A and B are shown apart, each in its own frame.
Chain A
Amino acid sequence: MDDLYYILPEIVLVVTAVGILAADFVLPEDSKPNLAWPAALGTVVALGLVISFWGTERSLYNGTLRIDDYAVFFKVMFLVIGFFVLIGSPAFARRNLRHTAEFYGLILFAVVGAMAVSSARELLTAYISLELVSFGFYALSAHAKDERRSNEAGAKYIILGAFSSALLLYGISLVFGAAGTTFYVDISAQAETAAGLGPGLLMGIALLVAGLGFKVAAVPFHMWTPDVYEGAPLPVTAFLSVGSKAAGFAFLIRLFVEGLQPVMADWRDALGILAILTMTLGNLVAMQQRNIKRLLAYSSIAQAGYVLVGVPVLTMGTAAGMMLHLAGYAVTNLGAFLVVIFYNNATGREKISEFRGMSRRSLPLALMLAICLFSLAGMPLFAGFVTKFYLFSAVAAHGLWWLVAFAIGNSIVSVYYYLVVVREMFVTPSDDDEEDRKPLRIPVHSAAALTALAGLVLWIGLYPDAIVRAAENGSRAIFGG
């Protein structure tokens, strides 16, 4: 049962989740929000296990799964994400949610699903794991059941999610029909020998892109994103914005690298166009937003566009770049959301204009958000700069200048709306009521979480060697180099 050892982290999480669900029956109501701590502990344990797999390359369970540096990279990412989401949740959950034990359990299950996605080397496994992630998110989005916005978000999300998974499945069926198999390696082999499997495979790819585009919020499959981000409970939005996207990309990158590379010439331009549409629309519409959650939603769409830039030229470099950018984006966005969550907990606010004068109330909080926003904008000192630089330069290396030019141009435009938030926090004077001048007190654990994330953002921004190496190893693993 050696294979089992390598899925031990997932098992740990499942066990933790079940344990928490069980604890729900015995614990008194007001201590339930604290279940986040054992849940977080579970992610830490799993994280330790996952890291110990670094450098391993091994096929598991008849090749449906594979543990390699690529998988480890993403698993670490998901666990970190899960950890911070859990850490950031209790205060919010206490205020706004019922059934907090289930809430944490669902988060853990979603993390399990995402981890499985990153290992999966086969369409069915990957699909069903992705569904696990999605179902977690469906339930989480609608979790604030008394809130009409949360209901609406959940309804829209699950219906569109079902629609998209139908599209994805139709695509899988076509790929399966054309290649006769769902294993990436075999698909690749088929595609190589039977030069071009005709319209069937191509349409299958289009549908796969559509289905995965939904998860990563690529235009025009992004429409759910802003609504769900806005409607879902804040910690869920935080989780969603990085988890769903990263899971989708974990699926997409491995699939395209291991399975569809031989027919790359057929889909590269289409994906380039997709990337441009995604970032352009994301940025343009983000400028119009008044709600911080919606702003971050459109920003996340734009970020998906940046990552997609790497897909049309799938090489070791661009794949590493995409992974890197995702990782940077994940910590950054989480940081931003943690601040928003905290601010919302303290004040109940989420409009951008309500962030005015925040720097007067808590400079560290405002600085943290500013750091994250600058990082999202791709400013130096912060993660976003390095990861974008790496990614875009890798793409440029293959002569896709038009794509890079669009991407860089877009990142400039994006600065505008990030700056608008920064302006509200630092520049615009706060209204002169008592409430606005009260300093915010940050609980120790929130402060620790924020500091850790800020540290990560700065670490990637200032000395990214280790993480770049990790991403490169991960990328090498799927390219089999």
Chain B
Amino acid sequence: MIEAVPLSHVLFVGAAMFAIGIFGVLSRRNAVAILLGVELMLNAVNINFIAFTMYSAPSRIVGQIIAIFVITVAAAEIGLGLAIILQVFRNRANINVDELDLLRW
């Protein structure tokens, strides 16, 4: 069954998704798009948690519970993040992060 897939492969999927998320964060200029990248990273983390808890951890439950928390946090983050970005947009009419340069050096 699914056991034919070794844990490391699942982890690789997680790692790959995380890396894609990182790429998103690092390459995007649109603040919302960056947040999308972060969401990908958090999902990748969840893949890890589920994989570990299902394959190797002593408890089958802990990882799942953590995953719930991660999802919660992710949702909260996107909520508050979007609110702030919205406010940025209102004041500047633009959400390109490389134009957020009042503060630097």
Residue of A nearest to B47 (CB): A173
Residue of A nearest to B100 (CB): A152
Q: Which one of A146, A158, A182, A227 contacts B66 once the chains associate, using CB atoms below 8 Å? A: A182
Tally of A-B residue pairs with Cβ under 8 A? 124
Contact of B56 with A177 in the complex, beta carbons under 8 Å: yes
Contact of A176 with B49 in the complex, beta carbons under 8 Å: yes
Among the stretches A15-23, A164-172, A362-370, A456-464, the one at the interface with B is: A164-172
Q: CB-defined interface of B9-39 with A at 8 Å, one 1/0 digit per residue?
A: 0010010001001000100000100110010
Minimum CB–CB distance from A6 to chain B (whole Å) comes to 23
Minimum CB–CB distance from B34 to chain A (whole Å) comes to 6
Residues of B contacting A135 with CB < 8 Å? Answer: 76, 80
A127-156: which have CB < 8 Å to B? 127-128, 131, 135, 138-139, 142, 145-146, 148-149, 151-156
- Whether A288 sits at the interface, judged by CB under 8 Å, is yes
- Whether A273 sits at the interface, judged by CB under 8 Å, is no
Residues of B contacting A182 with CB < 8 Å? Answer: 62, 66
Contact of A166 with B102 in the complex, beta carbons under 8 Å: no
Contact of A166 with B45 in the complex, beta carbons under 8 Å: yes
Residues of B contacting A172 with CB < 8 Å? Answer: 66
Contact of B100 with A156 in the complex, beta carbons under 8 Å: yes
Contact of B48 with A230 in the complex, beta carbons under 8 Å: no
Residues of B contacting A173 with CB < 8 Å? Answer: 14, 45, 48-49, 52, 66
Minimum CB–CB distance from A429 to chain B (whole Å) comes to 28
Contact of B73 with A165 in the complex, beta carbons under 8 Å: yes
Q: Which one of B34, B56, B73, B85 contacts A180 once the chains associate, using CB atoms below 8 Å? A: B56
Contact of A230 with B88 in the complex, beta carbons under 8 Å: no
Q: Which one of A152, A158, A226 contacts B77 once the chains associate, using CB atoms below 8 Å? A: A158
Contact-residue bracket for chain B:
35 or more
A156 to B100, CA, bound (A): 8
- Whether A181 sits at the interface, judged by CB under 8 Å, is yes
A231 to B102, CA, bound (A): 9
Minimum CB–CB distance from B29 to chain A (whole Å) comes to 12
Q: Which one of A142, A145, A227, A288 contacts B103 once the chains associate, using CB atoms below 8 Å? A: A227
A328 to B57, CA, bound (A): 41
Residues of B contacting A149 with CB < 8 Å? Answer: 102-103
Residues of A contacting B6 with CB < 8 Å? Answer: none
Residue of B nearest to A182 (CB): B62
Minimum CB–CB distance from A152 to chain B (whole Å) comes to 5
Residues of A contacting B38 with CB < 8 Å? Answer: 159, 162-163, 166
CB-CB under 8 A for A139 and B103, given A176-B63, A177-B48: no
Residues of B contacting A442 with CB < 8 Å? Answer: none
Contact of A155 with B41 in the complex, beta carbons under 8 Å: no
A163 to B97, CA, bound (A): 15
Residues of A contacting B88 with CB < 8 Å? Answer: 148, 151-152, 154-155
Q: Which one of B73, B84, B92, B102 contacts A154 once the chains associate, using CB atoms below 8 Å? A: B84
Contact of A155 with B84 in the complex, beta carbons under 8 Å: yes
- Beyond the given pairs A124-B65, A155-B88, 20 more chain A to chain B contacts, judged by CB atoms under 8 angstroms and listed by A's residue number, are A128-B69, A131-B76, A146-B91, A151-B84, A151-B87, A151-B92, A152-B100, A152-B102, A154-B84, A155-B85, A162-B38, A163-B25, A163-B41, A165-B73, A169-B42, A170-B44, A173-B48, A180-B57, A181-B57, A227-B104
Q: Which 6 residue pairs across A and B have the least CB separation, nearest first?
A: A227-B103, A166-B41, A173-B48, A177-B52, A169-B45, A154-B84
19 examples of A-B residue contacts, CB within 8 angstroms: A131-B73, A142-B87, A148-B88, A148-B102, A152-B100, A153-B103, A158-B80, A158-B84, A159-B31, A159-B35, A159-B38, A162-B77, A165-B73, A170-B44, A170-B45, A176-B49, A177-B52, A226-B103, A228-B103
